[in-house]
Amino acid sequence: MIVPEVNADAIFECHKKNIIANPNCSTAQMVVALKPLHDRAKIKRVVVSTYQSVSGAGKEGIDELWDQTKSIYNPVDNKPPTKFTKQIAFNVIPHIDVFLDSGDTKEEWKMVAETKKILDPAIKVTATCVRVPVFVGHSESINIEFEDFLDEDEARDILRESPGIMVIDKREDGGYVSPVECVGDYATFISRIRQDVTVDNGINLWCVSDNLRKGAALNAVQIAEVLGNKVLKKG
C-alpha cells in the first residue's frame, strides 16, 4: 500500500496526545494531489468545486438515491427526501453539512482549514461543495495558483511519480477518470491537467477518488501505518 508522506511528524505529535486526526474525505484526496505540486512550486491559492457522492452521507444517503431514482420510474413509490434537503435523484445540491455564519458550509470550511493544517497555513483555499447523484467516488475541479511557474507537462510528470496518485490524462474521448471507474481503488486519480493562462502561474486539474477508501477507512489505515513506522523508528 502506498502511503503519501503527508506530515508524518504532525501525526506522531497527535499520537503522543492519544488523538488521531483523519481529515474529511474531500480534503484527503485534494491534499494528496496538492502536496507534490506545492513542494515544487509553492501553492498560493486554490479554488475548488466538488462533485461529492451520496455515500459521503452514509448508508442512508445511498439508500435515498437508490430508492428515489427508482420511484421516478415507478411514481407510486414516491417518497419525499429525508437524508438530503432536496431531491437528489437526477439533481445536484450545493450544500453539504451545516451552514456557518460566513455563508460557507462546514464541509467547505473543512477544506480550507484542513488543507492549511495538513499542508501549509499559507495556502488560501476557497471551496464550493456540491452533492451529486453518484453512489461512490468524489470528484473535484481544482484551480491552483502557484508562487513559481509550473508547466502543465512538468505538473503531469510530478504527479505521475507521486505516491498514491494515478494520472490518466489523454486529451481524447474517455482519456480521463470518472467516479464510477475509481470505485474499489486505493489511488487518487488525476486527469485534465491544464495550464490556466488567466494567472501567471496557474494549473487546472480534475481529481477523483473512492471516498469510502481514501476518504475514510483506507486513510485511517495509512495514518496507522505511518504512525507504526514512526514508533518503530523512534522506539
Cα angle value 118/124/127 (rounded, 5°): 90
Asked about 25 being catalytic, the answer comes back as yes
Candidate list 24, 55, 191, 211; residue touching a copy of itself; CB under 8 A:
191
The count of C-alpha atoms lying within 13 angstroms of the C-alpha of 93, restricted to the half-sphere facing its C-beta, is 21
Cα angle value 139/188/173 (rounded, 5°): 60
Asked about 14 being catalytic, the answer comes back as no
Candidate list 198, 233, 234, 235; residue touching a copy of itself; CB under 8 A:
198
In angstroms, the first-to-last Cα distance of the chain is 23
Task: Please say whether the dihedral angle defined by the alpha carbons of residues 33, 35, 39 and 42, taken in this order, is positive or negative.
Answer: positive
Candidate list 176, 211, 213, 222; residue touching a copy of itself; CB under 8 A:
176
63's torsion region: left (phi>0), alpha (psi -120 to 50) or beta? alpha
85 binds a copy of itself (CB under 8 A): yes
**What string marks each residue from 204 to 233 as x (binds a copy of itself by CB under 8 A) or -?**
x-x---------------------------
SS3 207: strand
- Interface residues with a copy of itself (CB under 8 A) are 45, 47, 49, 51, 65, 69-70, 73, 85-87, 90-95, 99, 102-104, 124-126, 128, 130, 132-135, 139, 141, 143, 152, 171-174, 176, 178-181, 191-199, 202, 204, 206
Catalytic residues: 25, 138
